[in-house]
Structure 1
Amino acid sequence: MEYEHFSHNHTLTLSRIQPGQQFQCHGCNLRCHDSIFACWNCNFFLHEHCGIANRYTNHPSHLLHPLVLVPSPTYCSGSFLCNGCSAPGNAFFYCCALSEVDLHVHCAYLPHKVSHNAHQHELCLSFEKTNVSNALDYCKICMKEMSFRNLSYFCGKPECDFLGSYLLCY
């Protein structure tokens, strides 16, 4: 299958990675696995899910404007700070330039509900910036200090006191 992607000048081909082959995705900078969109002339590779990510998305954490998929940061630093997880990024990301909201692609597509063996109830992704104890607490799974100013998982049961967990711990 051939594919035209907005971030690359050449046609990409959907290919299966063979055992022993290693490629890095230009969309998220992570190692590729399974299927990739490839430009073999330029050694340009995208995970299949990075290649088919929507160009525009309406994200529950930012309902004011649609977020636009941008192939690389346009900031003078050459990187962005994700409003979802607070980690820097320098590859594809969703951006609202009007509101200065930036999200890694994987943060934009986190599941809204998850189960975790550390808690008996379903955990729900929170899009609210809260002021729980000055917005600082500890992840209930890894016990590291965390800020609830970003996306995090909370118990979906109102009567439960499980305040939250890091995105990476779900």
Structure 2
Amino acid sequence: MQSSTIRVIEVNEAREATKIQHLSHQHCLVLADKMEEEIDRKCDGCMLPISNIFYYCSECPFFLHKTCAELPRIKQHWFRQSNATLNFDSFKKCDFYSQYSSGFFYDINEDWDMCLRCAKVADIIECEGHQHFLFFDFKYRGKCNGCGETNRCGAFRCGKCRFALDFGCLTLPHSALHKIDEHKLKLTYHDDKEQSYCDICEQYRDPSLWKVEGYPECSYCGKLCQEKILKCEESTCNYIVHYKCHWRH
């Protein structure tokens, strides 16, 4: 099995591949550094928004981050210290993020399926929502400080304080577009209010979880924002949506 996933067709003066053939797609892909239109396009590899340099297909709506396109077919992963094989043709559940995806997966020891957003995470990492480095603790079974859910397969934990994040929260994008709102939605990490109560139902809201300050209702489903959310980064816009609602619709 070949280790490279791409065949270079054209390069620029800097010897950067500007046109490639990728094993996952039937057409050639062209390099670009920005979208021509401000629209929400997701990478077909990691399923995260296109926010930096990427490859696109000129014949159909297929996109890959440059970093995703250049991933090797076989790599050694820190989770099991063994070879992981890249799989393109699948729709399955990530054993680490606990969500189904139609993107690329790494198969680890034929026992674990890891989506690209999780596979690209190192075992020691910095997180914008926390001041210290986080390391993966296989034995951690406590709650995630992002969503409040209990972890059963380990988590990224701080060695200096009681802070932990699961794969899902750690790999959340900092901002994203949604078809209902014209502005980008920004992920909010904590609530600075001394009194953390919902302005509508007056129920208590845990200030340690990631959500939006002072606006507890999802603009899409209408339910209270008591979990991971995205909000518009424009100060004059009050659009807020559950993270799950954003990706499901």
Length-normalised TM-score, structure 2:
0.52
Distance 1:144 1:14 in 2: 40
| Residue of structure 2 aligned with 1:13, choices 73, 77, 84 | 84
Contact between 1:127 and 1:152, CA under 8 Å: does it hold in 2? no
Q: Is the counterpart of residue 146 in structure 1 residue 225 in structure 2?
A: yes
Residues 44-89 of structure 1, C-alpha deviations (whole Å, 9 max, x = no match): 44334433311122111112x111123x343xxxx33221122232
Specify the SS of the correspondent of 1:68.
strand
Q: 1:132 to 1:143 in 2, by over 3 A?
A: farther
Q: 1:18 to 1:127 in 2, by over 3 A?
A: closer
Query: 1:84-103, aligned counterparts within 5 Å?
Result: 84-103=146-165
Residues 7-55 of structure 1, C-alpha deviations (whole Å, 9 max, x = no match): 325x223143667xx8764433455764323314xx3443344333111
Find the counterpart in structure 1 of residue 96 from structure 2: 27
Length-normalised TM-score, structure 1:
0.71
| Residue of structure 2 aligned with 1:105, choices 155, 167, 178 | 167
Find the counterpart in structure 2 of residue 67 from structure 1: 134
Distance 1:31 1:92 in 2: 19
Contact between 1:85 and 1:167, CA under 8 Å: does it hold in 2? no
Identity percentage of aligned residues: 17
How many residue pairs match? The answer is 156
**Which structure 2 segments of 5+ residues have no match?**
4-73, 199-215
Which segment is superposed worse, 22-31 or 100-109?
Answer: 22-31
- Aligned letter for 1:157? E
Q: Is the counterpart of residue 39 in structure 1 residue 114 in structure 2?
A: no
Find the counterpart in structure 2 of residue 169 from structure 1: 245
Residues 84-119 of structure 1, C-alpha deviations (whole Å, 9 max, x = no match): 122232124221142211112121121111111232
**Which structure 1 segments of 5+ residues have no match?**
none
Specify the SS of the correspondent of 1:168.
helix
